[in-house]
Amino acid sequence: MPAEIIDGKKISSEIKESLKEKIEDLKKGGEVPGLAAILVGDNPASQVYVNMKAKACEKVGIFSEVYRYPKELPESELLKKIDELNRKKTIHGILVQFPTPRRISEEKVILAIDPKKDVDGFHPFNVGMMLAGKPTFLPCTPLGIQELLLRSGNDPSGKHVVILGRGSLVGRPLAPMLYQKTKGANATVTVCHTGTKDLLGITKQADILVAAMGRAKFVTADMVKPGVVVIDVGTNRMEDSTTKSGYRLVGDVDFDSVSQVAKAITPVPGGVGPMTIAMLLSNTVKACEMLSTNRSAD
């Protein structure tokens, strides 16, 4: 029986609908959630992402500003802008679209953002709070994966989750998020990567397999056990002369074969991708709620 498709587009739409209601409530109280996005340089993919994020804000009623700078922007100017946005009352979330040009230190940029406005969940302070199991902004893609699992009826609690990849955006933070003793987590977690020997022996044990190593169609049907739940985080470009762009997006999972044995699987595109943006919106609303609560308490 072919796998159930975990529809990230549908689930993210539901999340956005419920955010709309929260935003309406905030607006009644005089608060409008605001997100500032900064884009340096003219990387086409980054431009697409920033535009998608701004559009998604508009749709749910989040105020957004996009600051676009030429790739020659000095690092000091970028840090000054971040500092200004840290203090700007109408802005609750700040995101800098990565990658920035090489001259600019991503570490410095991340450290410059006020952790209270760090809606990407990249600031070490927030990462540390996450690892300690304290309330904080969780990084958008791992959070989106957790939501996909929960909302598709695949609570990771008690399950063996195998994560392929230890990148800073997904594998590295996702593992501690899922092994902590909280609702929606409490999984036994194994992290595999390029240094893993006997990968097949481990992937075959997974109740839930998260593929996030960035290798097109790497996971094949013979690597998983029947009934596995598969979350495919990969977005790899593959040449395809039949499309207008000349390429198409494929995941880290060989969807055609794995979907024949899995219980459930996310497609690419339309799985994790839309969730990442929904979680960014969710974090921005949360940032606004927190600031508004703090103001009422003053």
Residue from 61, 93, 173, 267 that binds a copy of itself (CB under 8 A)?
Answer: 173
Angle at Cα 273 formed by Cα 268 and Cα 278, nearest 5°?
150
User: How is residue 166 written in tokens?
Assistant: 């230890």
Dihedral angle of Cα 91, 95, 101, 107, to the nearest 10 degrees: 110
Residue 189 in contact with a copy of itself, rule: CB under 8 A: yes
Buried b / exposed e across 28-50, counting CB within 10 Å, b at 16+?
eeebebbbbbbbbbebeebeebb
# residues contacting a copy of itself (CB under 8 A) = 41
In the complex, minimum distance from the CB of residue 35 to a copy of itself, in angstroms, rounded to a whole number: 22
Residue 99 in contact with a copy of itself, rule: CB under 8 A: no
Residue positions annotated with a catalytic role:
53, 97, 120
On whether the CB atoms of residues 174 and 210 are closer than 8 A, the answer is yes
Point out which span in 28-36, 44-52, 189-197, 243-251 binds a copy of itself (CB under 8 A).
Answer: 189-197
Residue 179 in contact with a copy of itself, rule: CB under 8 A: yes
Across-strand partners of 95?
37
Angle at Cα 139 formed by Cα 134 and Cα 145, nearest 5°?
105
Residue from 44, 89, 158, 296 that binds a copy of itself (CB under 8 A)?
Answer: 158
Measured distance CA(292)–CA(32) in Å, rounded: 10
Which of left, alpha, beta for 248 (phi over 0: left; psi -120 to 50: alpha)? Answer: beta
Residue 233 in contact with a copy of itself, rule: CB under 8 A: no
Instruction: Rank residues 36 and 164 by Cβ distance to a copy of itself and give the closer one.
Output: 164
Residue from 46, 154, 196, 292 that binds a copy of itself (CB under 8 A)?
Answer: 196
| Residue type, position 32, single letter | V
In the complex, minimum distance from the CB of residue 207 to a copy of itself, in angstroms, rounded to a whole number: 9
Residue 86 in contact with a copy of itself, rule: CB under 8 A: no
In the complex, minimum distance from the CB of residue 188 to a copy of itself, in angstroms, rounded to a whole number: 4
Residue from 197, 242, 245, 293 that binds a copy of itself (CB under 8 A)?
Answer: 197
Residues of this chain that bind a copy of itself (CB under 8 A):
107, 123-134, 157-158, 160, 166, 168, 172-173, 175-176, 179-181, 186-198, 201-202, 205
